[in-house]
């Protein structure tokens, strides 16, 4: 005797009818018509070769044979749910490759990582910290899903996150700003704030000497502190415990502001777009950032 070929959808329907107590209620749970539920149960009874449900005014309850099948149906459906969970757990985590200019890392990394974990718990955030020029090249080369960069003056690439002034700063207790020529610690060639700082010094006719050039704030701050030098950083990137000089203090020139934007590749992934949304949300959620936001965001992709 061949074993009955029980349909999974029919077993789900039988379980729903018993759990809800009737065909009408089961139809609502299954998002089907009552007629469709009745037809499915009738077909299951035909395959089983016996009556599975006793119908009465008080509802539906399984017959002895129906109760046996119901027990197996629950086990089968439970195993299927367990298999789906196991497969989901075994899925390789998706990775979001985010490039962040060093000056922006402290402002964004922790907040965005937390938001990504809440929205996409299985995703892995891979952060690359580098000069903006290198990050853009990596983005166009397909090595990054999104990049937060300092824009070149006059550029409208990407979605602006904030505008922050460049300020002169130095370790607490240091008097390097009074020395002549002025000892300065600058970012390395390729940093977009470097030419801004040098142009301001040249325009002011102020003698200076470069004592350090570094690609990361940590290196720049360490050398500046030990060599007693000034640094020019975005206000939000000034190291803790350092002092920001007042405008015009010690004859130093006022520095221009910097614009920071998020860029996406020509064909952004779903996670890349999510990352952009989180970054823009972080901008809009910060009161100090909102004060600089002059125009609503509009995502601009890189050239093909």
Which domains are present in the chain?
Answer: 8-89 (1.10.10.10), 95-160+259-290 (3.40.190.10), 163-257 (3.40.190.10)
**pLDDT tens digits, one per residue of 173-194:** 999 999 999 999 999 988 999 9
291 pLDDT more than 80: no
- Report the first-to-last Cα separation within the chain, whole angstroms: 65
pLDDT for 269: 85
Which is it for strands 182-187 and 230-234: parallel, antiparallel or unpaired? parallel
The candidate with the shortest Cα–Cα distance to 256, out of 160, 182, 185, 167, is 167
pLDDT for 300: 33
Question: Cα(280)–Cα(261) distance, rounded to whole angstroms?
Answer: 9
Distance of CA 132 to the CA centre of its chain: 19
Cis preceding-peptide flag for 3 (omega within 30 of 0): no
Mean local confidence (pLDDT), 135-150: 94
DSSP assignments along 151-199, one per residue = PPTT---SEEEEEEEEEEEEETT--GGGSSSEEEEEEPTT-SSHHHHHH
Which residues, at least 6 apart from 186, have a Cβ–Cβ distance to it below 8 Å?
194, 197, 198, 210, 212, 213, 220, 231, 232
**pLDDT tens digits, one per residue of 44-102:** 999 999 999 998 888 889 999 999 999 999 999 999 999 988 887 777 778 889 999 98
Buried b (16+ CB within 10 A) or exposed e, 263-298: bbbeebbebbebbbebbbebbeebeebeebbeeebe
Identify the bridge partners of residue 147 per DSSP, sorted by sequence position.
99, 263
pLDDT for 290: 32
């Amino acid at each position: 005797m061949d074993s009955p070929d029980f349909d999974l959808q029919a077993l789900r329907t039988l379980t729903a009818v018993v759990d809800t107590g009737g065909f009408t209620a089961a139809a609502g749970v299954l998002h089907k018509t009552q007629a469709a539920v009745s037809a499915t149960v009738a077909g299951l009874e035909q395959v089983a070769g016996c009556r599975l449900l006793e119908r009465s005014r008080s509802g539906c309850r399984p017959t002895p044979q129906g109760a046996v099948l119901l027990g197996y149906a629950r086990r089968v459906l439970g195993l299927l749910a367990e298999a789906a969970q196991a497969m989901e757990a075994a899925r390789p985590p998706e990775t979001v490759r985010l490039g962040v200019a060093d000056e922006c890392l402290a402002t964004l990394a922790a907040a965005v990582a937390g938001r990504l974990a809440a929205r996409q718990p299985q995703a892995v955030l891979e952060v690359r910290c580098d000069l903006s020029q290198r990050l853009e090249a990596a983005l166009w080369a397909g090595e990054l899903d999104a990049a937060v960069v300092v824009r070149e003056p006059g550029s409208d690439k990407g979605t602006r996150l904030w505008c922050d002034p460049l300020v002169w700063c130095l370790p607490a207790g240091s008097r390097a700003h009074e020395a002549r020529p002025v000892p300065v610690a600058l970012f390395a060639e390729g940093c977009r704030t470097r030419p801004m700082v040098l142009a301001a010094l040249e325009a002011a006719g102020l003698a200076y000497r470069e004592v350090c050039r570094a690609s990361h704030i940590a290196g720049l701050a360490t050398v500046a502190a030990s060599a007693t030098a000034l640094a020019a950083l975005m206000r939000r990137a000034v190291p803790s415990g350092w002092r920001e000089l007042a405008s015009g203090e010690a004859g130093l020139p006022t520095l221009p502001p910097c614009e920071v934007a998020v860029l996406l590749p020509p064909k952004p992934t779903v996670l890349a777009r999510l990352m952009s949304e989180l970054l823009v949300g972080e901008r809009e959620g910060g009161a100090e950032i909102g004060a600089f936001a002059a125009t609503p965001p509009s995502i601009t992709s890189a050239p093909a």
